Amino acid sequence: MLRTNSKLCRRALTRSYATATSPHALVFLEHRGGVIDSGSLSALTAAEQLGGKVSALVVGSSEHVPGVVEQVKKLKGVSSILHSTSAQYAEPLPETVSPLVEKILSDSSSGFTHVVSATSSGAKSLLPRVSARLDAPTVSDVTSLSHDATSGSTTFTRPIYAGNAISTVRAPGTIPIKFFTVRSTAFAPASADGAGAEATSAEPVEVNDATTEHVKTTIAKSDRPDLGVASRVVSGGRALKNAETFEKTLYPLADALGAAVGASRAAVDAGYADNSLQVGQTGKVVAPELYMAIGISGAIQHLAGMKDSKLIVAINKDADAPIFQVADVGLVADLYDVVPELTEKLRK
């Protein structure tokens, strides 16, 4: 098969090319106010593993897009950048952005075989909306993947049942464009040593008479590292009693460790911590170097969000709490005694 000069062989190659195009991924790259979301950097790495070209799609307002495009140019693995600017994309609602993505994908000359994003709240809202219009499934929250260029099929693994089982699914070559979202803790973020990909602008698709209008966004401000990407996380549960004790007990420890703060559902429901800090099946999934679970019993739904952490430390009064079954280091003690002591001793 190495005789490429033979006409016969060349024809055979052309034919095989027609049935299974080499992969070309479109990564929906998210940014907030011009800063690229770290999850999108992991999505780029996952897209690169398909073994073909990787294009990044950047949408937003004219104020932010040029800066983001400059940042994306420097990222490793990006072969080209597609950007689209419109005042309508300043707050990228699925209803306004999906017509653009649909148009890009419907253009047969673009040759996209995969659409990739982080499993973020924004992309989770957008990708399935677009994929349904193209009669394709969206595979959510994949943790590994492999692409078979001959058959055009892609195999994914993804957690199901709150991470208590791992499903391996194959999207066959008959699905021309495969949509998937990527669990960012399972892929390293793309590094910034790229060669400077070429950027092309795509005409925005203006949506007249939009059915949905953005009113406002409220982002919980914090000086601590972002929960999703922090290398250390200190999490609190119901045992923290109230918002004040939650703050008073956990924040000094988090600060001493340079850690992000997380919470169990019980703590969030009781109002001790903001919703965006919830770790678990229905909240954030984290996999830091260090996860400290303080006053958290360790329900299935919570474990789903943190059991891939490298070192799990649990502090709980109840020696039978399920959290101790996954903790590398457990301390059975009253958190009100030991957390201040730990903070104090760490600071020394």
Partner 1 sequence: MKPSPARLLNILVPVKRAVDYAVKIRVNPQQTGIDTNVKHSMNPFDEIAVEEAVRLREKHKDAVKSIRAVTIGPPKSVETLRTALALGADSAVHVQVPEAAPSPEPLAVAKTLKALIEKHNAEASKDGPIDLVILGKQAIDDDMGVTGQHLAGLLGWSQATFASKLEVDVGKNEALVVREIDGGGEEVRCKLPLVVTTDLRLNEPRYASLPNIMKAKKKPVQTLSPSDLGVDYTPQLETLKVTEPPKRVGGGKVANVDELIAKLKEAGIEAA
Binding to partner 1 (CB under 8 A) within 112-141 occurs at 120-122, 124-133, 135-141
CB of residue 93 vs partner 1: minimum separation in angstroms?
7
Closest CA to 290 of 336, 251, 234, 209: 234
Is 278 annotated as a binding-site member? Answer: yes
39: tokens are 């999850």
Stretch that binds partner 1, among 44-52, 77-85, 199-207, 284-292 (CB under 8 A): 284-292
| Distance of alpha carbon 261 from alpha carbon 339, whole angstroms | 14
CB atoms within 10 A of CB 79: 16
Residue 241 contacts partner 1 per CB under 8 A? no
CB 126 within 8 A of CB 89: no
Residue 228 contacts partner 1 per CB under 8 A? yes
Q: What residue type is assigned to position 161 of the chain?
A: Y
Quick one: which of 193, 213, 223, 320 contacts partner 1 (CB under 8 A)?
213
Stretch that binds partner 1, among 4-12, 199-207, 211-219, 235-243 (CB under 8 A): 211-219
User: Helix or strand or coil: residue 132?
Assistant: helix
Residue 252 contacts partner 1 per CB under 8 A? no
Residue 108 contacts partner 1 per CB under 8 A? no
Residue 219 contacts partner 1 per CB under 8 A? yes
Whole-number Cα distances in Å, 113 to 20, 66, 180: 10, 26, 11
291: tokens are 């996860």
CB of residue 140 vs partner 1: minimum separation in angstroms?
5
Is 238 annotated as a binding-site member? Answer: yes
Residue 287 contacts partner 1 per CB under 8 A? no
CB atoms within 10 A of CB 15: 9
- Binding to partner 1 (CB under 8 A) within 137-176 occurs at 137-141, 155, 158-172, 174-175
Residue 211 contacts partner 1 per CB under 8 A? yes
Residue 41 contacts partner 1 per CB under 8 A? no
CB atoms within 10 A of CB 204: 19
Whole-number Cα distances in Å, 114 to 15, 20, 25, 54, 127: 21, 13, 5, 9, 11
| Distance of alpha carbon 111 from alpha carbon 219, whole angstroms | 37
| Distance of alpha carbon 185 from alpha carbon 228, whole angstroms | 8
Residue 273 contacts partner 1 per CB under 8 A? no
Residue 300 contacts partner 1 per CB under 8 A? yes
User: Helix or strand or coil: residue 81?
Assistant: strand
- Binding to partner 1 (CB under 8 A) within 70-89 occurs at none
Residue 38 contacts partner 1 per CB under 8 A? no
Quick one: which of 6, 275, 317, 318 contacts partner 1 (CB under 8 A)?
275
Residue 223 contacts partner 1 per CB under 8 A? no
Annotated binding site for FAD: 238, 264-265, 278-282, 295-302, 316
